[in-house]
Chains A and B, each alone.
Chain A
């Protein structure tokens, strides 16, 4: 860790130093400099807009989901990406990010998402006579497990996998959005080992002796 921090400090200092001379040189050697582009033509990222805290607002309200859908998503996302020794989906505000993206999606994609979410409820009602978010934890797990591993018990050869199971497809679609939302959050980046800096230092590569790559 120490080595990496040193490397990073060196690289970052180098990067800052490097940003100055070329720009300054460009300005001094020319009657002509490359004019800065108007701010309005840059992306928000290019303007340095930081949206990290937008979703954490105390008065946050969903843009697209209704209250039941939002609460269901919170319960589901925490089941899929639970708090362990690190924070889970609920703390990462996964539901809020998904709501933001859905609000900007095409009607078709919005409909697909809502179909998947309501499949959860219809299966919950069919199996346990209640909507998904009010089920006991073990019933929620039972339902999700059936969607992840759609198998019919029986036969002398063991269980049979059901091909093209709609429950499986709905699960995968919901999981994909939740997983992406979690790992692209600040909490998710930290879960993957990120410590707050993006300048990484030398690439070590393979240092095995020639011909002994184990």
Chain B
């Protein structure tokens, strides 16, 4: 049975005609629900998964209390793909989709890993929390190097919405005045370890590059009714003090408190319904996750915040006589230009400078350091081998030396003596390409009978060159800090591994080339919106969730204006 929460005085939420349906309750869907319902719009928030409760948070549970101590071979049977995500654990695997119920296909030689959650809050429950603004250079990439297109909006268009999101979410970080990584509204930064501070100083001296503490959606002081981080470590198992940002306990909670938002959980959206005569979206059809009953919700506008691939899937599954190749797809671009940051390059080593013994009782900072992009910047000039750039996440700390040689009492002591390790791992820009796309697989359906995706994506030569350069540059930085035993990695991991999917319904001014306009509205159907990463024209190299949220709030405010003008 579908669990229904009703913010309005009605017995049946399906008899209402809402002002807006929001599909998906993650980082962007939560914001859309909050922003629209607080402005007085009647909103139905549809989530494919169940609700979540703080009682199931396990961040303080030691591994020995688990049957398999977080090494469960059983998880792999139902979640062989999800298990590739570090955050899918014996503690929380029920938040991740069951891969057997949620299939997708790829060409045999083009693997793609699609890691996702179906639960209230979606991936905001387990996200990496790194939160960075994109720069003007990122919004205008084509103007710098001639590749592809600029965004139809500029940094100045989004900056006020970054402010709004940051002030509400609570981002801890340090201002650096780096033009590639604009500063924002920060709570006090977390502290660097000694090794990180050393690296920061040496990299500045030798290369002139910025190394900053990670800007992260984790509170360092009480904020909007939530307590600061207590440094227990594993945020991805939930947080009983709500110190990291996740939508169920912030935006969704606010939306429900407004009295204008109806939450419908276990609603697996199959397609958007159209009023063909008026060329308008009329609502959505969903399948109840538990009963498999097919139901319909009606609304004046439909907003997809289901994640880049899933939003594209819903539109591709919503074909009509007027839109035979997918709803709002007169451009033919729907599903194309799929992107995900390229990862796999970097370096690690050992710092003998610090004699610090590791200890399981030490506070665990759920954050690292960040090196903003320093290649192909207005200051650096153009690199000869690749366009765009990459940033590093990294860290330095004392670790237990489980990899020590030998056995017996000597090994046991070596583990506790530990080693002070230091490392940097790159996230590189993924270029938009027509031949990276999702389409409906005509031979594959999910457990609810909804046609599933065929995902066709590879990283190209530019991504490979970025990772090769990132390995060498990282090794040079570690060497400058005095690291020993430096090992470089210059592999290109399979697409999907960064879990930063973007593209598939990009925004642009030309209706012949782009699915969305600059306010996330489909060119073809005026009351249909896509407000998640699908709208992104390019990926930049920064972790994208903060930008997803800012773009969503901007689009919502535009929609609210149109409601006020009665122009829907």
Indicate the size class of the contact surface on chain B.
35 or more
Binary A-proximity of B32-67 (CB < 8 A = 1, otherwise 0): 000000000000000000111111111111111111
Binary B-proximity of A80-108 (CB < 8 A = 1, otherwise 0): 11101000000000000100110011100
**Measured CA separation A79–B62 after assembly (Å):** 26
> With contacts A29-B257, A32-B5, A79-B408 known, is A45 near B65, CB below 8 A?
yes
Cβ contact within 8 Å between B60 and A198: yes
B103 within 8 A of A: no
Question: For residue A186, which residue of chain B has the nearest CB?
Answer: B64
> With contacts A43-B56, A205-B190 known, is A15 near B68, CB below 8 A?
no
In the complex, what's the smallest C-beta–C-beta distance from B251 to chain A, in angstroms?
13
A69 within 8 A of B: no
Binary A-proximity of B389-413 (CB < 8 A = 1, otherwise 0): 0000000000010100111110110
Residues of chain A from 167 to 207 with CB closer than 8 A to chain B in the complex: 175, 179-181, 183-186, 188-189, 191-195, 197-206
> With contacts A45-B90, A198-B59, A206-B193 known, is A148 near B405, CB below 8 A?
yes
Binary A-proximity of B333-349 (CB < 8 A = 1, otherwise 0): 00000000000000000
In the complex, what's the smallest C-beta–C-beta distance from B212 to chain A, in angstroms?
14
Cβ contact within 8 Å between A175 and B192: no
Residues of B within 8 A of A31 (CB): 6-7, 9, 259
Cβ contact within 8 Å between A193 and B51: no
A58 within 8 A of B: no
> With contacts A45-B91, A148-B407 known, is A84 near B191, CB below 8 A?
no
In the complex, what's the smallest C-beta–C-beta distance from B223 to chain A, in angstroms?
12
Question: For residue A33, which residue of chain B has the nearest CB?
Answer: B5
Residues of A within 8 A of B485 (CB): none
Cβ contact within 8 Å between A189 and B62: yes
**Measured CA separation A79–B407 after assembly (Å):** 7
Question: For residue B74, which residue of chain A has the nearest CB?
Answer: A104
Residues of A within 8 A of B107 (CB): none
Question: For residue A183, which residue of chain B has the nearest CB?
Answer: B402
Cβ contact within 8 Å between A43 and B92: yes
A67 within 8 A of B: no
Residues of chain A from 127 to 173 with CB closer than 8 A to chain B in the complex: 144, 148
> With contacts A46-B58, A179-B402, A200-B361 known, is A80 near B407, CB below 8 A?
yes
Residues of B within 8 A of A35 (CB): 3, 5, 51, 265
B71 within 8 A of A: yes
**Can you offer 15 A-B residue contacts whose CB atoms are under 8 A?**
A18-B226, A22-B225, A22-B249, A29-B257, A32-B7, A34-B5, A34-B256, A104-B68, A144-B407, A184-B69, A185-B64, A192-B359, A205-B191, A211-B201, A213-B201
Q: Give chain B's interface residues, CB within 8 Å of chain A.
A: 3, 5-7, 9, 50-74, 90-94, 120, 190-198, 201, 225-227, 230-233, 240-242, 248-249, 252-253, 256-257, 259, 262-263, 265, 353-354, 358-365, 400, 402, 405-409, 411-412, 415-416
A-B pairs, top 9 by smallest CB distance, nearest first, are: A205-B191, A46-B56, A200-B363, A193-B359, A213-B198, A192-B360, A194-B360, A198-B60, A184-B69
A18-B226, A22-B225 known; 18 new pairs, CB 8 Å cut-off, are A22-B226, A22-B242, A30-B259, A34-B256, A41-B94, A45-B66, A80-B407, A82-B409, A84-B412, A104-B68, A144-B407, A186-B64, A192-B400, A198-B59, A200-B230, A201-B230, A205-B365, A206-B194
